[in-house]
Amino acid sequence: MAQATRNGVRQADDEGSQQNGFATSEHVEPSHLQWEDASLLQEWDPPPRSYTLRKGLTVPTRILTFLLWTSIGVTLVSMLSDLLQLRLLSNGWYTMPQVGFNDFRQWLVGLIRLVVGLATSVTFLFWIHRANTNCHGFDAAGMRFSPGWSVGSFFIPILNLFKPYEAMKEIWRVSTDPYDWRAVRDWGPLRWWWGLWLLNSFAFQFAMRRASTVHDVMTLKMATTVWIIVKFLFIPLCLAALVVVSSIHERQLNLTENGSYPAESG
């Protein structure tokens, strides 16, 4: 009897709840506020990533830019000096004072070009080391080149035909997007820079061989002409290097300021 009474009370309570408009948890519909919260979660974007430079790159970039422009200017002066020598040799006759002055001018211009070239090369390698160090500071996963290897690859025979380009390409990609740097497309000016680098390297070796065979006026004229061509090819190499250096520097600064850089077409 008592069990029947309890069952009757429970049934009455359930019926009363339904009549009063109450529903069990299985029939509760999500409210309008719940849908708004879900929409806000879908539209929410994570904050931009924060990057910092391990090594300052602005001062090295300015120094390297100055040296590259100086190299172009000294190269133009050296080409003019070679043209004057070629003109003297083409006259068919010349005095000893003219020969002495020509030799001194060529020696002086060559010395200045050598000093500027060495300073530019050392600064460029220093700049590459710092740029690569900054890339590692961006926490880019899976980088293949360390700062030392990105510089040392220039000095290993055979490998220096392609490894320095791969190191610079990695610096470029990481400086563009450290989070997904492998998906960054190759950059045209970087390919031009490396192609001109290889062309100048082979042309310089050829010119050195020609210079070692000079034994009379005719061979000296030929060697002088070859050097004029080699120096002319050096100018676009410097211009390409200027574009690459300034662009990578700009991208690393943008990462530290904005956390990203606009995508660049290849």
Domain map (residue ranges) of the chain: 2-43, 58-258
Residue 257 to residue 160: CA distance in whole angstroms: 34
Single pTM value for the model: 0.77
- For the record, the structure tokens of 113 come out as 């070009």
Q: What is the mean pLDDT of residues 20-42?
A: 44
Q: Residue 202: is its pLDDT beyond 50?
A: yes
Q: 163-176 and 217-258 are packed helices; what angle lies between their axes, rounded to 10 degrees?
A: 30
How confident is the model at residue 168, as a pLDDT?
95
Span 65-95, pLDDT tens digits: 999 999 999 999 999 999 999 999 988 788 8
Amino acid present at 111: L
How confident is the model at residue 53, as a pLDDT?
64
Q: What is the mean pLDDT of residues 239-252?
A: 94
Among 83, 141, 137, 135, CA closest to 109: 83
How confident is the model at residue 177, as a pLDDT?
85
Q: Residue 139: is its pLDDT beyond 90?
A: no
Report the mean per-residue pLDDT for the chain: 82
Q: What is the mean pLDDT of residues 245-257?
A: 89
Give the CA distances from residue 18 to residues 8, 14, 21, 27, in Å, rounded to whole numbers and listed in that order. Answer: 16, 6, 5, 12
Q: What is the mean pLDDT of residues 84-109?
A: 92
Burial 96-121 (b: 16+ CB within 10 A, else e): eeeeeebeeebeebeeebeebbeebe
How confident is the model at residue 49, as a pLDDT?
65
How confident is the model at residue 184, as a pLDDT?
84
Of the chain, the percentage scoring pLDDT greater than 70 comes to 77
Span 112-126, pLDDT tens digits: 999 999 999 999 999
Span 40-71, pLDDT tens digits: 444 444 445 666 666 778 899 999 999 999 99
How confident is the model at residue 25, as a pLDDT?
40
